[in-house]
Amino acid sequence: MRPKPSKPRLLQAMIDAFSLPDLRRRILFTIGILVIFRFVAHVPLPGVDFAALQALFERNALLGMLDLFSGGAMRRLSVAAMGVYPYITSSIIMMLLVPVIPRLQEISRMGEEGRNKINLITHWLTVPLAALQGYGEMVYLQREGVVSSASPLGMTAIVLSMVAGTIFLVWLGELITEYGIGNGVSIIIFGGIVARLPELIGQGFLVRENFIGLFVYILMVALTITVIIVFTEAHRRIPVQYARSVFRSGRMYRQSGATHIPLRVNSAGMIPLIFSMSIVLFPGIVASYFANPTEPNFANTIMELFNPNAPLPIGFFYWALYFVMSVAFTFFYTMVVFQQQDLPGILQRQGGFIPGIRPGKQTSTYLNGVINRITWGGAFFLAAVAVMPFVAKLITNVQVIQLSSLGLLIMVGVVLDTMKQLEAQLVMRRYEGFIK
């Protein structure tokens, strides 16, 4: 008798996940929160000229980055226009301040309680950052004629609405983290990016006459996603042994256990690209306040140099600087995070050691050397992904599709992280997961 053909592994894993009541509840809860997020993203602020807003988006690249983190809410100027960007900024600031301020260092070493305190400080810091960003955006949009002039009371109401929208989205993300599946804030950003996929598909129909270019463009995007997956999962295993004492039958015995430390090739994630994009766009934004459209001056030249959509050969300057800054910030951020982890100190306190390497300073020197070498691969990977949209447009001549390399990184990272969490839930219940 021939065996009954089995379902594809991914399909079977999804069926298994929905067959478990608690896991099904988590998945449906996450989907429900995303639906609420999309409703909030469509609640507009008063007094907005949407035609002027769309025209502004076409000539200001920074707004495109803010729109990415708001899930399209910035393009509609809704109450959730800032998205979770102030929270991300607050998290980055706290990550940079912890190794600098002794008091924060002490708090970070307090285990779970310390992490909760750092998280609370991060949430409180988000409020003034959101208020400052909201006020700056409204002043800028008023100057550009997007928002009608408002009284001080009206401006206060608009800014408070935007701050409330940001805090509400962060709260939704926390609910997903606690009761749903995946990292909540990342899932919120992911939901906004996915919501723009129909727009990308529509843009693809506009270039049907350039079929070969469109095909090559799609092929490059698929190749980029594959490379992102490979480098996201790539890591260097450092063998570690632990010596422990066991009291048995009235005598003390020494036992050893072997394990490893996985050092990721790309341990910085997408943060270096956020840093790099913000800094590379900043001179052009400042210059836009002093530019004169009727009589071009030095500010107009700066705007053109730091414009990602500038024609060639001027456009090379922006993307070359973006590439170099991505490499530099990858090393900077990796070193900051690695120093915070204090792996040599943790190994020494737990009685662990790397075979052939003495604990203490030699272990620290060895691990720093390894992380420096593998970070070269991660840095050039991130830089290559950063300039991929420019290279794709240059090769295929497809100018209509607006694809974000940062969006691709976020999408792939969130999907992998969520699949791993579902995998762990299924394996705990003795089901086969997604990953073989």
Domain ranges of the chain: 1-202+408-436, 207-399
Distance set, CA 381 to CA 60, 116, 262, 268, 301 (Å): 27, 33, 19, 11, 31
CB 13 within 8 A of CB 433: yes
Which of 1.10.3370.10, 3.20.20.10, 3.30.200.190, 3.30.930.10 would CATH assign to domain 207-399? 1.10.3370.10
Is-same-fold flag (1-202+408-436; 207-399)? yes
Residue 149 pLDDT > 70: no
CB 115 within 8 A of CB 108: yes
Please state which of the ranges 1-10, 202-211, 370-379, 382-391 shows the lowest mean pLDDT. 1-10
Predicted pLDDT of residue 136: 82
- The model's pLDDT over 25-35, given as tens digits with 9 standing for 90+, comes to 888 999 999 99
Phi, psi of 123 (to 5 degrees): -65, -40
Predicted pLDDT of residue 49: 79
Please give the residue that has the higher pLDDT: either 2 or 152.
152
User: Within 10 Å of residue 34's Cβ, how many Cβ atoms?
Assistant: 21
The H-or-E segment that residue 171 falls in is helix 152-179
Quick one: average pLDDT of 312-335? 86
- % the chain with pLDDT above 70: 84
pTM beyond 0.95, yes or no: no
Quick one: average pLDDT of 66-79? 75
User: What is the DSSP annotation of 358-413?
Assistant: -TTHHHHHHHHHHHHHHHHHHHHHHHHHHTHHHHHHHHH---S----HHHHHHHHH
- The model's pLDDT over 282-320, given as tens digits with 9 standing for 90+, comes to 787 777 767 666 677 777 788 778 877 777 777 788 888
Predicted pLDDT of residue 253: 46
- The model's pLDDT over 363-419, given as tens digits with 9 standing for 90+, comes to 888 888 888 899 998 899 989 988 888 888 888 877 766 677 777 888 888 888 888
Kindly state the tokens that stand for 164. Answer: 């409330």
Q: Does domain 1-202+408-436 have CATH number 1.10.3370.10?
A: yes
